[in-house]
Structure 1
Amino acid sequence: MAKDGEKGQWKEFIWNPRTREFLGRTASSWGLILLFYLVFYIFLAGLFALTMYVMLQTLDDHKPTWQDRLATPGMVIRPKADETFEIVYTVQNTESWDSYTQILDKFLAPYNDSIQAQKNAECTPDQYFLQEDSGDVKNNPKRSCQFNRTILGECSGIDKRYYGYQDGKPCIIIKLNRVIGMLPGNNGQAPYVTCGAKREDSDKIGELAYYPPNGTFNLMYYPYYGKKAQVNYSQPLVAVKFLNITHNEDVNIECKINANNIPEGSERDKFAGRVSFKLRINSNN
């Protein structure tokens, strides 16, 4: 009997035909609760939308309002087949280095002289290409300077189709990470790249050739104003050609940026202002 009474109480709680209550509330009571939560959540959604609208009014479509700018920008190399930063191949085995040359072909395609002439301007070398806004009037889109592929000389892939890989004298392309507004040099001194072997491999690296001469990033490519402000921006590059590196041995190499206003990176960040990689050229000779 007790179980039947409990069952009857549950049925009456779900629906009470005498008071016409569902789950303990009448239809009008449920309607008022639903109306309250509907109005409440509409208010919250409206408050959120208003907050987002006000916040978005403070943002610039072409430049971040706030930047956690790195004191020392990172550097990367091409070709880079994976995250190991190793370039290993055999001179006589075309398949072992063909992928590297294809990566360089694809990477340098936007730097073809004809494409650069269509998209970018001829700038005055050795000085910053400043394009400041005029008060509230934005000077957008901003122009960009030409970086022609031919600047890379023997590492351009034009005269020497395979970037020296077939001769055991490979080229490596280096670029400095983009930082909005960075002026990398004081008193007209352009930043430049130097490469060298780690201490244990210092006698293996041999002679190097840099393109452009002295491995410089010309000042005319700075400052960078952002992807939306400079849609055609062509990042300057430096090519390093290894002319007589020791074959059949691992050579650990480090390249770094040198500038009179960029501090050296710390040992804890291997990408701050430098890049390290292993180069091994195998040869049957």
Structure 2
Amino acid sequence: MYSFPTVKIILFYVIFYICLAGIFVGTIQALLLTLSNYKPTYQDRVAPPDSPRPYTDRGPLEADTTQKKVCRFHRSLLGSCSGVEDRNFGFNEGKPCIIVKLNRIVFFRPKAPSTNESLPEPLQAKAQPNLIPIYCKNKRDEDEGKIGEIKYFGMGDGFPLQYYPYYGKLLQPQYLQPLVAIQFTNLTLDQELRVECKAFGDNIGYSEKDRYQGRFDIKFTIKS
């Protein structure tokens, strides 16, 4: 049978842990009261690239008073990089495709370049007022002339502004962001090549401290 001091100690710890649990639950509830179901409190626009997830057709568009309408995006727009006819996306033939998207940022509305001077020369003649263009080139000087032809597939070969802003999963549960497919059809064989791709927009910045902000680079080594 427990002595009286032992009972007091047990009772103390029971009350102590109940109070700790109450404080924990209270702080979590207070935190949840500060969070919005529709907009994140803090946003980070930078995320490392990843492998594409399975692309699915989400059926007819539906919207009610609590949801925003969304635009369709058909994978057929990606041409030979759509994965419909070539499920290996050109890798077996040494003509790899990569699929590019802008990160989903709630309420972020990208702005098209206001002047052609900010664009690479090959893009200046094709600039469109409602499009975020993307452009790839060799990252290193020693790879000049080794990248070969680069093909772009998508709506205008960029990211159309009618898909933005993104309002979040609750308001746009069927949202599909636009994609751009980039195919490298004539890479030099048996060499490591580095390619850098950039998205161009008035409110898309770049940082030397983060190579994934507004751009990314990728390495290719195609064996003969």
TM-score calculated relative to the size of structure 1? 0.61
Q: Alpha-carbon deviations, 1:185-221, whole Å to 9, x = none?
A: 1575422211111221011111211012553111122
Quick one: distance in 1 between partners of 2:200 and 2:216?
13
Q: Alpha-carbon deviations, 1:80-123, whole Å to 9, x = none?
A: xxxxxxxxxxxxxxxxxxxxxxxx7xx3532xxxx24x1547xx
Farther off after superposition, 247-256 or 192-201:
247-256
Q: Alpha-carbon deviations, 1:42-76, whole Å to 9, x = none?
A: 44443443343333223223332x11434xx4462
Matches within 5 A, 1:177-196: 177-185=103-111, 188-196=129-137
Matched, 1:76 2:53: no
Structure 2 equivalent of residue 267 of structure 1: 208
Matches within 5 A, 1:1-285: 22=3, 27=4, 35=11, 38-39=14-15, 41-64=17-40, 66-70=41-45, 73-74=46-47, 76=49, 78=51, 107-110=53-56, 115-116=57-58, 118-120=59-61, 140-185=66-111, 188-198=129-139, 199-212=141-154, 214-264=156-206, 266-283=207-224
Confirm or deny: 8 A CA contact 2:43 2:105 kept in the other structure. no
CA RMSD of aligned residues (A): 3.2
Equivalent residues, number: 208
Segments ≥4 residues shifted beyond 6 Å = none
Unpaired runs of 5+ in structure 2?
A: 115-128
Q: 1:275 to 1:38 in 2, by over 3 A?
A: same
Structure richer in helix, relative to its length: 1
Give the residue type in structure 2 aligned to 1:67: Y
State the shift of 1:233 in Å: 2.3
Farther off after superposition, 144-153 or 163-172:
163-172
Quick one: distance in 1 between partners of 2:174 and 2:86?
27
Unpaired runs of 5+ in structure 1?
A: 1-20, 79-103, 122-130, 132-137
